[in-house]
Amino acid sequence: MTASISATIAERLLAWYDANARDLPWRLPPGEPLPDDPAWPYRVWLSEVMLQQTTVSAVKPYFEKFTQTWPDVEALAAASDDAVMAAWAGLGYYSRARNLVKCARAVAERGGFPSTEAELRALPGLGDYTAAAIAAIAFGRRAVVVDANVERVVARLFAIREPLPKARKAIRAAADRITPDARAGDFAQGLMDLGSHICTSKVPRCLLCPLSELCEGRRQGAPESLPVKPPKKQVPERSGTAFWITRSHGTEVWLVTRPGTGMLGGMRALPDDGWSARVDGSGKPPLAGAWRSVGAVRHGFTHASLTLQVLAMDTRDQPRGEGQWWPVAQIGEAGLATLFAKAAGLALAEA
């Protein structure tokens, strides 16, 4: 592909983005100068971390809650781990929340966000994609930003048929060729929007695409077959048990905090029998007594699917291990991970 065609792609994509950009709370309008505000890179960083493996619609209320509670990186750095983990509850992939706090503290200590990809990559929890996105969108640097939507658009545009993940090197090189020096952030966001709404995974809307005349995948036919994905691996089925332990006639429930590393690390939860992505649960209940079954919940993780039995008991005894009694009427404020929020809902429905 010649330099002139690469320039044409950039021009057409930016013109389309100027007319069709999504209105999102973490974005500037297309072409608007970057604000001279230290909170701007914070908002870009926060949104990019939240958007990893998560939909825009799911992220919006979390982004608004976080920015109202912690309006800048210094405020987030000063927050307790428990407060951040509770605010993150339900957004999933909880290692992101743990890294969010670590990164905020590192940025606050150095006096602000760095502006280069290399410096950004050195921050906790920031990989190549996030560093490039922040450099381009927050600081106007030329950076090659490749997420799943961009990957799909570029693979089709250049008809890259090597299967993923090996194709990613060629996709990145192709994205580099078409990324302009000016407005690299708008260009990256334009490609993301194009992949989200036009160059969709199953039924691409080629007639509405500003790049259709230049798309080699469309010319060759069946652009929806690109990028070529490897067969999906079957995830293992796991099983476990969660324990709904109440006292004072069901007005308080025993909650624990999971270890800082591992699945759902650092989150408040119901006590359980030690299940993980690799091991079925087999541990003993934290109390001896007459347990009753209130049913089971299903939950899918990246590396496993889980069926979690929920056993309940009202007691006057103190469960083993560390934990706290939490008012059942305020269980929605406990910041339970989605899995345990499902289990709590089941227990409450059966109470």
**Tokens representing residue 194 in the block:** 């194009």
Residue 76: exposed, middle, or buried by beta-carbon count in 10 A (0-12, 13-18, 19+)?
A: buried
User: Is the distance from CB of 308 to CB of 269 less than 8 angstroms?
Assistant: no
Report d(CA 58, CA 228) in Å as an integer: 27
What DSSP assignment string belongs to 242-259? EEEEEETTTTEEEEEE--
User: Is the distance from CB of 217 to CB of 174 less than 8 angstroms?
Assistant: no
Catalytically active residues are 48
Chain centroid offset of residue 198 CA: 22
User: Is the distance from CB of 53 to CB of 92 less than 8 angstroms?
Assistant: yes
C-alpha torsion sign, points 201, 207, 212, 217 = positive
Report d(CA 60, CA 177) in Å as an integer: 32
**Tokens representing residue 280 in the block:** 């079925």
Closest by CA position to 241, among listed 305, 277, 284? 284
Report d(CA 130, CA 145) in Å as an integer: 8
Q: Report the phi/psi class of residue 122: left, alpha or beta, with left for phi > 0 and alpha for psi in -120 to 50.
A: alpha
Report d(CA 312, CA 253) in Å as an integer: 10
